[in-house]
Homo-oligomer: A and B are copies of this chain.
Amino acid sequence: MDKLRLGIIGIGNIGTGHTSNILEGQCPGIRITAAADRRESRRSWIHEQLPDIPVFSEGEELIASGTCDAVLICVPHYQHPPLAISAMRHGLHVLVEKPAGVYTLQVREMNEEADRHPELAFGLMYNQRTNCVYRKLKEMIDGGELGTLKRVSWLITDWYRTQQYYDSGAWRATWAGEGGGVLLNQCPHQLDLLQWLCGLPVRVRAFCHEGKWHDIEVEDDVTAYLEYENGATGVFVSTTGDAPGTNRLEITGTRGKVICERNKLTFSRLAVDERVWCRTSPDAYMKPECETFEVETDGLNPQHSGVLNAFADHILHGGPMIADGREGIRGLMLSNAMHLSSWLGKPVDLPFDEVLFRDLLMERCRHSRHKKEVDVTYNMIGSY
């Protein structure tokens, strides 16, 4: 195999972006050999782009067609696990768009299926992990440069969306269609990065506000407080209602503080571990000596194409993927725990009661508001 034969399931907003990237030559190891979408308009579009490939209405038809080595799943979130499981059972490698799914129980099934197919690649489209700034930060933390985690704060309020956005898709921002709001649609990247960088907290208390800034039934404003096993604490704030919004991640460890903002990493490095200093300093107010500087990175940020290329390279040549699919459940645990805490009005310990979460979610789905069908497609690559 010199090129991976890829089937794209779901040629909606993000699927359109992936298709365009590949057609523009950004993924030399990949050839699109099939596509599927339930909408006639999207099938017509892909047929115009690639007249020679089979185009299906259903992902399951594509999976059974024998035309691909791998599938890229870009359909609404609820369908990620069942399609991934089916693809694996047909011997196909699988790359899933974020989030891994809507609730952890269904994602556990997907992960278990993946474990039964160690010969298959299973990846998650965590394109933000390819950003040089986050990669460098991960390297610094893992290398001990920040010492032990004390505090993390992420204000990620620059996911602005207008009412028009929410009116553009019947599945959007409904419990039945999407299973949540800003936590499920916009935040999965940051929730993954947060757990990737700092690990999972052991306790979450969140305050989700539903339909606060938009006429929708799910949350569009979230503030969450996190506690980690070592006592470190965190704050995570997100919304689709703020303009111009902020994206500022600050992580404090015992050996310094790093701020990630505007794609720059600023490190304040202490000469002495603060915990040692606190106990031994004869001065009451003085801080340890500190040097602040911008951290250099390799400047590379290949995003979606980077994930696709690593996925193909992994299958073709055994290279490393950007994110193993099994890790998708971790960010979703954070997201589910935030929802659950807000619904119950109290802190939630991790691991939480996943059956209770699913039941409460399904209850919401039963009362989910019907939205009229619309058929609008955006190329969203730029907005991620």
Binding site for B on A (CB under 8 A): 150-151, 153, 155, 157, 160-165, 168, 205, 207, 209, 212-214, 221, 223, 225, 227, 231, 233, 235, 237, 239, 241-246, 250, 252, 256-257, 268, 270, 274, 277-279, 281-288, 290, 292, 346, 378, 383
A285 CA / B384 CA spacing, docked (Å):
11
Interface of A is mostly: mixed
Question: Do the beta carbons of B281 and A242 come within 8 Å of each other?
Answer: no
Contacts A205-B207, A285-B383 given; does A277 touch B162 at CB 8 Å: yes
Note all chain B residues with C-beta closer than 8 A to A231: 209, 212
Knowing A239-B151, A250-B246 are in contact, say whether A160-B287 is a contact too (CB < 8 A): yes
Q: Which residues of B contact A278 (CB under 8 A)?
A: 162-163, 213-214, 241
Question: Which single member of B151, B209, B244 contacts A242 (CB below 8 Å)?
Answer: B151
Q: Closest 9 A-B residue pairs measured CB to CB?
A: A165-B284, A243-B287, A162-B281, A243-B274, A244-B290, A244-B268, A160-B287, A164-B284, A162-B278
18 contacts between A and B (CB under 8 A): A151-B242, A153-B237, A160-B287, A162-B278, A162-B283, A162-B284, A162-B285, A164-B281, A207-B233, A209-B233, A223-B233, A223-B235, A241-B278, A242-B257, A242-B274, A243-B270, A243-B277, A285-B383
B207 touches A160 (CB 8 A): no
Chain B residues with CB below 8 A from A150, complex form: 241-242
A sample of 12 more A-B contacts (CB under 8 A), given A221-B233, A285-B383, is A150-B241, A151-B157, A151-B242, A161-B285, A162-B281, A162-B285, A164-B283, A207-B233, A235-B237, A244-B257, A244-B292, A346-B346
Q: Which of A221, A244, A246 has the most CB of B within 10 A?
A: A244
Query: When chains A and B are docked, how far (Å) is the Cα of A281 from the Cα of B241?
Result: 13
**Are the CB atoms of B207 and A163 closer together than 8 Å?**
no
Please, which residue of chain B has its CB at the minimum distance from the CB of A153? B155
Known: A205-B205, A278-B241. A284 touches B153 (CB 8 A): no
- Chain B residues lying within 8 Å of A250, measured Cβ to Cβ, are 155, 246
Q: How distant is A271 from chain B, measured CB to nearest CB, in Å?
A: 11
- The CA of A242 and the CA of B268, in the complex, are separated in Å by 12
Task: List the number of copies, as a whole number.
Answer: 2
Q: Which residues of B contact A233 (CB under 8 A)?
A: 207, 209, 221, 223
Closest residue of chain B to A250 (Cβ to Cβ) is: B246
Q: Which residues of B contact A270 (CB under 8 A)?
A: 243-244
Residues A284 and B225 in contact in the complex (CB < 8 Å), given A150-B241, A163-B279: no
Within the complex, the shortest CB–CB distance from A231 to chain B, in Å, comes to 7
Task: Pick the residue among B157, B227, B245, B378 that contacts A284 (CB under 8 A).
Answer: B378
Q: A383 — which chain B residues lie within 8 A by C-beta?
A: 285
Measured CB to CB, the closest approach of chain B to A279, in angstroms, equals: 6
Q: A230 to B237, alpha carbons, bound, how many Å?
A: 18
Instruction: Provide the bound-state CA to CA distance between A289 and B161, in Å.
Output: 14
Task: Report the bound CA distance from A244 to B286 in whole Å.
Answer: 10
Would B242 and A252 count as touching, CB distance under 8 A?
A: yes
Chain B's closest residue to A226 (CB) is B223
Residue of B whose beta carbon sits closest to that of A255: B243
Q: How far is the CA of A328 from the CA of B257 in the complex (A)?
A: 34
The answer to whether A243 and B290 have CB atoms under 8 Å apart is yes
